[in-house]
Amino acid sequence: MGRVFAYKYLVIDDAWILEVENLHRRVNQATKHPEPVIEMDSPWDRETDVFNCFNVIYDGDEGVFKMWYSVMYYGGEGHDGSSKFAYATSKDGIHWDKPKLGLVEVNGSRENNYIIPEIGIYGSLIKDPSDIPQRRYKMLFMVGSKETVWARFYIPLCLAYSADGIHWERPAHVNPVLRGISDGPWGFTYDPDRRKYLLFSRRVPNLPRDISLYESYDLVNWEDKGRVIVGGDALDPPEMYNFYHMMPFCYEDFHLGALNAQYTSPISESYDSYNRSPDYPDTTMGHLEIQLAYSRDGRKWNRPDDRRAIVPWGPKGSPDFGAIYPANNPIVKDGETWIYYLAQNNVHSWWHIQEQWNRNKSSRHTACGMLAKMPEDHWVSLDAGNREGFFVHKPWGPPHEVFVNADAEGGSIEVELVNPFGQTMGGFSRAECIPITANGKKQEVKWKNGRHPWDFAKDHRGGVLAKFYLKNAKLYSYTFTLPDPDGKLAVDKANTRWCGIIKHKSDNWDRLSTEPAGGLSPHSGPGPEKGQEKPGEMVLDF
């Protein structure tokens, strides 16, 4: 048959599913790496240094992981807004090197990995595929000081760029570029289909906390697209009504979000932050975990009905017992998703941090960087128990081959092909299907006749429906293939999202198709005719 092209379908939503019966959609957890991957263990790290928010990217051009992290000061009297920015690299994403860069002097020495001095900074950055090498790294950052903390000033965002991610420049006369958002972390990414920068952040005022979207073509002029995720619906417990932040990333046909859910007192968040509750530590108050959000277009976001965490906080005594925060956009590598996260062994409250300082007179072991991995497509599954269930994919194909990513050990998955009238395609009935009974991805569905469904393509042009039967099994995704000898299908699929965007003119919903294009009028061009001016507008006669 030669080259084929694969169309993969995740079961996160019902976009391609026509019917479901007796299957349960479940959110699955990522697998945690057993130990922290980075800690405050360098000779230049002080007892008052706290590992804080960080960014990790995998640079495919260089075959290396790169990390930028904030080192916050806490010396027992509270955080004064000061922190430094540091840099590290890794070949495997687990063991990190902290190079002595010689850029910043700390305690009389430049033998450290700091790239920005202790000025009170936090930044979220990307490697930008859309710009020239001199500006390939982009950072949106905020800076703080004792004066801004005293003023309770929500610090606006500023812009920086770099050729190597180590030496940073700031464009003149544009900072700050965005006001009115929160002082917390934010998700920053580039959408290659819309060729826009996207920023997901809390806004001000932000209690209860939720997630808003801001978009920009140039990182200087931003458009507020409004709130996209608000917590505290009927499926959430009363104490889960805050979202600390969300880190977005692209996965197959989805935009996914590592959504940081924060558990607080339903009466007042200040009870959690500043007062020790009598039932600590047996309550969820003060804990943070990572849940899942998803979107088809990056603008309209949803949450699964199953609100289980994809990365939960750990057991008491573990490095991530208290609160966990996703680092910037998770990394998809060889189908597997790497979710780096800031792990704290204290809950999100000043009283707990102060207790630890009083006990240890040190802050450097209260936080670290950790890693969890989500196996390929395992975000959400359709599950069946002893009672069999099924789902039906919408008319398609017929396909050349059918594959599943599933765990059917101790159970089975069978597939039959039917036409839109419910008639089974000859040779491709359920009875003739060889059951899938193993755990793994790319498991091919076969029938006893040894033929491929594509064999009857010329005889059936109306599309076929694939009906999947599950018993004691979990299905994460399924894939149909088609012959693609000249690679045209691969090209079409790569352009699908972009074509949909330009066809629907998604930035112009509020304009009529017959309206003239917007923008500045040409010099000495005609204005509205007399009698056609808008209310309050004056037309001059020359």
48-58 burial by CB neighbour count: b if 16+ within 10 A, else e? Answer: bbbbbbbbbbb
Residue 498 is predicted with a pLDDT of 86
Residue 155 is predicted with a pLDDT of 73
Whether 313 contacts 48, CB under 8 Å: no
CATH number for the domain that contains residue 122: 2.115.10.20
Residue type at 55 in one-letter notation? N
Same domain, 357 and 389: no
Same domain, 153 and 10: no
Rounded Cα distance between 142 and 122, Å, is 6
Residue 295's contacts (CB-CB under 8 Å, 6 or more residues apart) are: 254, 255, 256, 257, 301, 302
Same domain, 363 and 391: no
Evaluate whether residue 76 is within a structural domain. yes
Q: Tell whether the model's pLDDT for residue 442 goes beyond 50.
A: yes
Of 308, 341, 368, the position where a domain reaches its end is 368
Same domain, 407 and 332: no
Q: Tell whether the model's pLDDT for residue 530 goes beyond 90.
A: no
Same domain, 226 and 241: yes
Same domain, 11 and 74: no
User: Tokens for 102?
Assistant: 């010689």
- For 486, the domain range is 4-27+381-491
Q: What is the mean pLDDT of the chain?
A: 88
Evaluate whether residue 442 is within a structural domain. yes
Rounded Cα distance between 142 and 121, Å, is 6
Closest to 220 (Cα-Cα) out of 251, 243, 196? 196
Residue type at 111 in one-letter notation? E
pLDDT over 90 percentage in the chain:
68
Q: What is the mean pLDDT of residues 504-530?
A: 55
Same domain, 438 and 478: yes
Evaluate whether residue 540 is within a structural domain. no
Q: What is the mean pLDDT of residues 478-489?
A: 96
Q: Tell whether the model's pLDDT for residue 29 goes beyond 80.
A: yes
Same domain, 80 and 108: yes
Rounded Cα distance between 227 and 333, Å, is 30
Evaluate whether residue 528 is within a structural domain. no
Number of domains in the chain: 2
Q: Tell whether the model's pLDDT for residue 459 goes beyond 90.
A: no
Both ends of the chain: CA-CA distance in Å?
A: 74
Rounded Cα distance between 315 and 313, Å, is 7
Q: Tell whether the model's pLDDT for residue 534 goes beyond 50.
A: no
CATH number for the domain that contains residue 422: 2.60.120.260
Whether 436 contacts 445, CB under 8 Å: yes
Same domain, 104 and 154: yes
| DSSP 8-state class, residue 234 | T
**In this predicted model, what pLDDT tens digit does every residue of 105-150 receive, in sequence order?**
998 999 999 999 988 788 899 999 999 999 999 999 988 777 776 7
Evaluate whether residue 459 is within a structural domain. yes
**In this predicted model, what pLDDT tens digit does every residue of 374-414 receive, in sequence order?**
999 999 999 999 999 999 999 998 999 999 999 999 999 99
Reduce the DSSP state of residue 501 to 3 states and report it.
Answer: helix
Evaluate whether residue 428 is within a structural domain. yes
- The DSSP string of 44-104 is T--TTEEEEEEEEEEETTTTEEEEEEEEEE--SS---S-EEEEEEEESSSSS-B------S
Q: Tell whether the model's pLDDT for residue 285 goes beyond 70.
A: yes
Evaluate whether residue 133 is within a structural domain. yes
Same domain, 98 and 244: yes
Of 336, 368, 400, the position where a domain reaches its end is 368
Same domain, 343 and 421: no
Of 368, 399, 420, the position where a domain reaches its end is 368
Evaluate whether residue 510 is within a structural domain. no
Residue 518 is predicted with a pLDDT of 58
**In this predicted model, what pLDDT tens digit does every residue of 92-111 receive, in sequence order?**
999 999 999 999 999 899 99
Question: Which residues partner with 295 through β-bridges?
Answer: 255, 301
Same domain, 408 and 326: no
